[in-house]
Amino acid sequence: MTFTPQPGEKAPDFAAKDQAGAIRRLSDHQGKNVVLFFFPGGGSATCARQAAAFRDQVALLRRSNALVIGVSGDDVVGLKRFAMLNRVNFPVLSDPDRVILREWGVLRGDRAERRTFVIDAEGIVAKVYNAVAVARHVQDVVADLQQMHGPARLFPSVDMSAVESAG
């Protein structure tokens, strides 16, 4: 029996190879918010659209002290091709043995179910997105991060406190 980590629970740690073959661990990112999204595989147009949406908003997510990590059951070679074709600018991790997929409760048949977790800087699950609507998913994640941690600065070099106190 598998379970899905719920908000308030410690996020299960893992280690897996990314598209470049480097080992990545969730625990390496303590002190940052992590947007961890699981996707069925790099061969579908829907997965490509989801990855592109995260790619296009990665700078805004970083301003919310968040980094993006994708995970699928694809092998490293397949994920490298997927990342290159879609100009992915974040790690996508390979879980060909489905260990991480099982541990996170997202394995359906032999593929990952499309699901996203926001993990806070202390390694606690803050939000779970069970029903991912790819068309608006990244906007939902950004909005939730802003609600959790305040708005991301669109212009980080501008000190907004003087503007906010004047209004």
DSSP 101-122: HHHTT-EETTEE--EEEEE-TT
Residue 153 or 123, more confident: 123
pLDDT at 1 over 70: no
Residue 2 lies in a domain: no
Q: Assign residue 40 the CATH number of its domain.
A: 3.40.30.10
Residue 27 lies in a domain: yes
* Number of structural domains found in the chain: 1
Q: Which domain holds residue 110?
A: 15-150
Residue 9 lies in a domain: no
Alpha-helical (H) ranges within 76-134 are 76-85, 99-103
Residue 158 lies in a domain: no
- Type of residue at 100: I
Rounded (to 5) percent helix, strand, coil in the chain: 35, 25, 40
Q: What is the mean pLDDT of residues 104-114?
A: 94
Residue 1 lies in a domain: no
Q: What is the mean pLDDT of residues 52-66?
A: 91
- Range in 23-37, 104-118, 125-139 the model is least confident about: 125-139
Residue 5 lies in a domain: no
Residue 155 lies in a domain: no
Q: Give me the active site residues, please.
A: 47
